[in-house]
Chain A
């Protein structure tokens, strides 16, 4: 649409968006362009930084760890979230309000507070291990820190509320009558769930999975705190490149590959589901 077809009033309204666009350009587009630029010019022009993606076994290992941890986090979050979201559709209005509040409140806790709280909770002499040992359920303390288990536990804590809300918004639109109808036509409770309810919640499962997966790709504080340096994920490795080893060309290349990975996930999913619905558009 050219400016010529817009009336003066419309042009004035468009002018109102200019400050926001300028901010985006200065603080988002420009730095992003700089990241892309650095990744192909530092330390010298060329694609040698990107060559490391396939040639450097360390990067390959970090990427593998990242994808594995994120996939496990996504699976656990969505499965646990499914149960909670389902329960939310079946309780009274009052209980539902309380549940939504509890979930939303978790977003307001600082990631550092949560991270350290998990360290206290999960370490060998921590609350969880002492309790389990005290009950005589385990002899040796479980190793829940400085490994992928700890990282996944911490990341699920972040992914779960996201998964619950995405699933709940899908399930809320499904009439409970469908399951009754299935039972009335001879389906067992499990058949009614598997053949009728589960397929109807597929869009919710897909959107919850995309959201949690993309969200967890960018985590670095939780893996650092709970992985104790043994679980290095891509975002953490990028931070090291910027702040410690000062290999900016290398770090910007990894940032770019992370960005491409996210776009790739979205592109694949766009073929399966309507992304506008996933992001509530």
Chain B
């Protein structure tokens, strides 16, 4: 029970397993045979577009949704049948759901109050929890008197004050403006590190998922598409869906023509691309799709020294502060998106300008193209 005794706010790290979870509403299958392992002390994010089942999974973990099939285990103990209040999970709800009739202090006292802890007895934990999120000075306010960011902090303090088994976050930052979202991403990370607790977060925002998580589960139409660390998922998306949902990608569809020890070649129209690795994702008739990140393509006036190089015509470009995003029309691949850093380059980006694109064999990654 370690840290809790001294600071008043501490969370024991627990592991959680979701085993072959399915939830059907009539004919509608919201989640389909989903298995997830959350290790002790991890920050795991369920990421997916709306309708991907991410919120249903979180609500099933919280106990608000009864799964049709499957199990949920907390430290190897089956909790599938437990009602929400018996699970001891802290939860930050979408929109925060702070009780409007209670002050900040009373809101944070609430989880302790329903566990039979009196107000004065709880005072120390409530105070520690408020200080954890730097809200001590606003203890007497009502939620309606707080800004969005402050409400978010109070919701966090309320979810953490009773030393829950896990912290569940349902779109915790989606109601906030961009600037604040960025700041709170740092804060949530630091909070997670200080507490050492297990966090499970749901979001549709890829930036949020990439920047905060230890591990991301990408969901699509109720199924797990891919699980991995943010950097791995970004660098090695297994499917076309992941490559386009997490960041941007160009998809180069071609036919496998030759394979040697460390590379293979594919033909796209009359161009040939050299790609590193094994053509594992190739279809039975040699069809293969490569995902190529815009920032891994170099752009220049003359033919680059890279193995892969093609000519193109600039269609348009937009300036985004740190980078230029350029659309280039090419004969074999159609429109290609290129991102280049906005300083240290002298490239003519005017529409209609002739240009060269280049990338190395290990820049792209072969992806499965199902669906």
Contact flags A166-189 to B (C-beta < 8 A → 1, else 0): 000000000101101111111110
- Is A191 positioned at the interface, with any CB of B under 8 Å from its CB? yes
B115 touches A196 (CB 8 A): no
B111 touches A185 (CB 8 A): yes
- Minimum CB distance partner of B158 in chain A: A185
B64 touches A185 (CB 8 A): no
B85 touches A183 (CB 8 A): yes
- Is B114 positioned at the interface, with any CB of A under 8 Å from its CB? yes
Given A180-B64, A181-B91: A186 touches B97 (CB 8 Å cut-off): no
Partner of B114, one of A180, A188, A200: A188
Chain A residues near B85 (CB-CB < 8 A)? 183-188
Chain B residues near A187 (CB-CB < 8 A)? 85, 110, 114
A191 CA to B86 CA in the complex, in Å? 13
Chain B residues near A185 (CB-CB < 8 A)? 85, 90-91, 110-111, 114, 158-159, 162
- Minimum CB distance partner of B115 in chain A: A186
B100 touches A200 (CB 8 A): yes
A185 CA to B62 CA in the complex, in Å? 10
Q: List which B76-115 residues lie within 8 A (CB) of chain A.
A: 83-85, 88-91, 93, 95, 97, 99-101, 110-111, 113-115
- Minimum CB distance partner of A187 in chain B: B114
- Is A195 positioned at the interface, with any CB of B under 8 Å from its CB? yes
Chain A residues near B99 (CB-CB < 8 A)? 178, 181-182, 196
A177 touches B114 (CB 8 A): no
Contact flags B291-324 to A (C-beta < 8 A → 1, else 0): 0000000000000000000000000000000000
A180 touches B93 (CB 8 A): yes
Closest Cβ–Cβ distance, residue A105 to chain B (whole Å) = 33
A195 touches B110 (CB 8 A): yes
B101 touches A199 (CB 8 A): yes
Closest Cβ–Cβ distance, residue B248 to chain A (whole Å) = 35
B83 touches A184 (CB 8 A): no
Interface of A is mostly: helix
Contact flags B150-165 to A (C-beta < 8 A → 1, else 0): 0000000011001000
Q: How large is the interface on A (under 10, 10 to 19, 20 to 34, 35 or more residues)?
A: 10 to 19
Chain A residues near B159 (CB-CB < 8 A)? 185
Chain A residues near B89 (CB-CB < 8 A)? 184
Q: How large is the interface on B (under 10, 10 to 19, 20 to 34, 35 or more residues)?
A: 20 to 34
Contact flags A183-211 to B (C-beta < 8 A → 1, else 0): 11111100100011001100000000000
A213 CA to B110 CA in the complex, in Å? 35
B84 touches A183 (CB 8 A): yes
A142 CA to B301 CA in the complex, in Å? 101
Q: List which B48-66 residues lie within 8 A (CB) of chain A.
A: 62-64
Total residue contacts A-B, CB cutoff 8 A: 61
Closest Cβ–Cβ distance, residue B163 to chain A (whole Å) = 11
Closest Cβ–Cβ distance, residue B251 to chain A (whole Å) = 40
Partner of B93, one of A181, A186, A188, A200: A181
A186 touches B162 (CB 8 A): yes
Chain A residues near B93 (CB-CB < 8 A)? 177, 180-181, 184
B115 touches A178 (CB 8 A): no
B110 touches A184 (CB 8 A): no
- Minimum CB distance partner of B86 in chain A: A186
- Minimum CB distance partner of B94 in chain A: A177
Chain B residues near A180 (CB-CB < 8 A)? 64, 84, 93, 97
A186 touches B111 (CB 8 A): yes
A144 CA to B318 CA in the complex, in Å? 83
Closest Cβ–Cβ distance, residue A187 to chain B (whole Å) = 4
B97 touches A177 (CB 8 A): yes
B114 touches A191 (CB 8 A): yes
- Name, among B62, B63, B85, the residue most crowded by chain A CB atoms within 10 Å (CB to CB): B85
- Minimum CB distance partner of B114 in chain A: A187
Contact flags B3-30 to A (C-beta < 8 A → 1, else 0): 0000000000000000000000000000
A178 touches B114 (CB 8 A): no
Chain A residues near B84 (CB-CB < 8 A)? 180, 183-184
B114 touches A195 (CB 8 A): yes
A186 touches B88 (CB 8 A): yes
Chain B residues near A183 (CB-CB < 8 A)? 63-64, 83-85
Closest Cβ–Cβ distance, residue B164 to chain A (whole Å) = 9
- Minimum CB distance partner of A199 in chain B: B101
- Name, among A181, A184, A191, A195, the residue most crowded by chain B CB atoms within 10 Å (CB to CB): A184
Contact flags B187-222 to A (C-beta < 8 A → 1, else 0): 000000000000000000000000000000000000
Chain B residues near A195 (CB-CB < 8 A)? 110, 113-114
- Minimum CB distance partner of B110 in chain A: A185
B114 touches A186 (CB 8 A): yes
A184 CA to B113 CA in the complex, in Å? 14
A111 CA to B346 CA in the complex, in Å? 89
A187 CA to B62 CA in the complex, in Å? 13
Given A177-B97, A199-B101: A184 touches B114 (CB 8 Å cut-off): no
A263 CA to B160 CA in the complex, in Å? 50
A186 CA to B84 CA in the complex, in Å? 7
Q: Which 10 A-B pairs have the closest CB atoms?
A: A181-B97, A185-B111, A187-B114, A184-B91, A183-B84, A177-B97, A199-B101, A186-B85, A191-B114, A186-B114
24 residue pairs bridging A and B, Cβ less than 8 Å apart: A177-B95, A178-B97, A178-B99, A180-B84, A180-B93, A180-B97, A181-B91, A181-B93, A181-B97, A182-B99, A182-B114, A183-B63, A183-B84, A184-B168, A185-B85, A185-B91, A185-B110, A185-B159, A185-B162, A186-B88, A186-B111, A187-B110, A195-B110, A199-B101
Q: A180-B97, A187-B114, A195-B114 are in contact. List 15 more A-B contacts (CB 8 A).
A: A181-B99, A184-B62, A184-B89, A185-B85, A185-B90, A185-B110, A185-B162, A186-B111, A186-B115, A186-B162, A187-B85, A188-B114, A191-B114, A195-B110, A196-B99
